[in-house]
């Protein structure tokens, strides 16, 4: 499965209902699992971003669909990047000229 790092910020709506943030994260995890994905972890942070999500999905299309669905709820805005493990990166660089 492909791994992803998502950096999230609360919207005004998300801040007004911030007491529900843990429940929203748990519900999102269920939606992720329903399409064959897996939440590795979610952390609430201080600084530029409010949350960090590390997850796996069957492919980038599935991850994109899930992040768009999350954004449609209106509580967060996200930036998602595909990430690579040490083993995956070793395979990538092994193919370099």
pLDDT value of residue 32: 86
**Across-strand partners of 54?**
5, 41
Structural domains in the chain plus CATH codes: 2-94 (3.30.70.920)
The residue written with tokens 């599935």 in the block is 62
Q: How far apart are CA 87 and CA 89, in angstroms?
A: 5
What pLDDT is stored for residue 35 in this prediction?
A: 87
pLDDT value of position 81: 97
Q: Nearest Cα to 28, choosing from 57, 2, 50?
A: 57
Residue holding tokens 């007004």? 16
Question: Tens-of-pLDDT digits for all 97 residues of the chain?
Answer: 999 999 999 999 999 999 999 999 999 999 889 988 999 999 999 999 999 999 999 999 999 999 999 999 999 999 999 999 999 999 999 999 9
Q: Which of 7, 82, 3 shows the shortest CA–CA distance to 52?
A: 7
Would you state the pLDDT for residue 17? 97
For residue 8 the two structure tokens come to: 């999230």
């Amino acid at each position: 499965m492909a791994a992803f790092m998502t950096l999230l910020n609360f919207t005004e709506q998300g801040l007004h209902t911030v007491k529900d943030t843990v429940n929203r994260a748990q519900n999102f995890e269920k939606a992720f699992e329903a399409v064959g994905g897996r939440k590795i972890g979610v952390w609430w942070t201080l600084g530029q971003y409010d949350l960090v999500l590390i997850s796996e999905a069957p492919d980038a299309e599935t991850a994109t669909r899930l992040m768009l669905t999350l954004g449609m709820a209106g509580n967060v805005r996200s930036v998602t990047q595909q990430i690579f493990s040490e083993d995956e990166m070793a395979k990538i660089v092994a193919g370099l000229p």
